[in-house]
Amino acid sequence: MEFKSITPHLGAEVSGIDLSEPMGSNTFNALREGWLKWGVLVFRDQKLTRDQHVALGSKFGKLHVHPMYKDQKDHPEILKVATNADSAYTAGEGWHTDVTCDEYPPMGSMLYVTQTPACGGGDTLFADMYLAYDLLSERMKNMLQGLTAVHDGALPYVGSYKTTPPEGGYPRHEHPVIATHPDTGKKLLYVNSGFTTRIKGLRPNESRALLDMLFRHIESTPKLVARVDWEPNTLAFWDNRCTQHHAVWDYYPESRYGERVSIVADTRPAA
């Protein structure tokens, strides 16, 4: 395998590997090491069946079943990411980390895109949450350390996607505002505009002002971002613990289609 960086701190394109082939331990370890180093890995010209996609994700751990589609009969681990001229929205349009409303959010996600817009567009932006933390002032880091935020699935799934909540509602859990990556030991910013609703222990106006500042910090700092341009049969594998992403819907009325599997983390986000 060869890793070619997309930016100096985030993202790499990987060549010299066929993800549909059996993977030995040396290849797996090299792939995992590259994933931890670069945060986002991009594999082009891959031909995967749905079973192969599921098997690939399963090498890294138990696969996640999305709370919006937990009753899906055929391959419940696969989340379809489809947008066309009739879509009311595109999944992931807005900065977010996948499903942080869960007690154990996914540690990683693999999106396999097979159809891209004929007109171009449809890129995905990824942002480095290690660097987002590093760029904060020392006083801000000290203030945020020890704070806890609420992550609520109703925010996107009801508020944005207009779905009917299941019995008992969508998941809602609390995670540290500043987390430590369980594998690298590095600190990172762990709030996102997709799921984070408030910071505990602050008055509502204080919480809103602080979250809005952090969200603006992420969305308005270009140096955080690596941009992935999709081609048919491209798979991206990102570390969901230290990145955020934003799907750009700039291709209406053209279509884009992909399928995603996510791997459940075996530890909760921790300070």
Give the pLDDT confidence of 204-234 residue by residue, as tens digits.
Answer: 999 999 999 999 999 999 999 999 999 999 9
Q: How far apart are CA 27 and CA 108, in angstroms?
A: 18
- Domain map (residue ranges) of the chain: 2-264
pLDDT of the residue at 164: 83
Q: With cut-offs at 50, 70 and 90, classify the pLDDT of residue 36.
A: very high
- Tokens 């700039």: give the residue: 250
* Whether residue 98 lies in the annotated active site: yes
Work out the number of other CB atoms within 10 angstroms of the CB of residue 105. Answer: 24
pLDDT of the residue at 70: 64
- Bridge partners, 244 (sequence order): 127
Tokens of 47: 């031909």
pLDDT of the residue at 208: 98
Q: Could you give the 3-state DSSP secondary structure of residue 265?
A: coil
Q: With cut-offs at 50, 70 and 90, classify the pLDDT of residue 165.
A: confident
pTM greater than 0.85 (yes/no): yes
Q: Where are the beta strands (DSSP E) in 6-134?
A: 12-15, 40-43, 79-83, 106-115, 124-128
Work out the number of other CB atoms within 10 angstroms of the CB of residue 229. Answer: 13
Q: With cut-offs at 50, 70 and 90, classify the pLDDT of residue 263.
A: very high
Q: Which of 108-117, 140-149, 155-164, 187-196 has the lowest mean pLDDT?
A: 155-164
Average pLDDT, the chain: 95
Is-contact 101 151, C-beta < 8 A? yes
pLDDT of the residue at 69: 67
Q: Which of 98, 128, 152, 239 is catalytic?
A: 98
Q: With cut-offs at 50, 70 and 90, classify the pLDDT of residue 72.
A: low
Is-contact 44 233, C-beta < 8 A? yes
Q: Is the pLDDT of residue 73 over 80?
A: no
pLDDT of the residue at 76: 87
Question: Taking residues 111-132, what's their average pLDDT?
Answer: 97
Q: Of the candidates 246, 133, 120, which has an alpha carbon nearest to the alpha carbon of residue 180?
A: 133
Q: Is the pLDDT of residue 105 over 90?
A: yes
Q: What backbone phi and psi angles, to 5 degrees, belong to 191?
A: -130, 150
Residues 129-145: b if buried by 16+ CB within 10 A, e if exposed = bbbbbeebeeeeeeebe
Q: Which of 53, 66, 96, 173 is catalytic?
A: 96
pLDDT of the residue at 200: 98
Q: How far apart are CA 20 and CA 161, in angstroms?
A: 33
CA distances from 11 to 71, 110, 195, 196 (A): 34, 14, 24, 25
Q: Is the pLDDT of residue 71 over 80?
A: no
pLDDT of the residue at 91: 85
Q: Could you give the 3-state DSSP secondary structure of residue 49?
A: coil
Q: Is the pLDDT of residue 55 over 70?
A: yes
pLDDT of the residue at 32: 97
Q: Is the pLDDT of residue 177 over 90?
A: yes
Fold for 2-264, please state it.
Double-stranded beta-helix (3.60.130)
- Bridge partners, 197 (sequence order): none
Work out the number of other CB atoms within 10 angstroms of the CB of residue 146. Answer: 11
Q: How far apart are CA 81 and CA 100, in angstroms?
A: 18
Q: Which of 53, 245, 246, 256 is catalytic?
A: 245
Q: With cut-offs at 50, 70 and 90, classify the pLDDT of residue 247.
A: very high
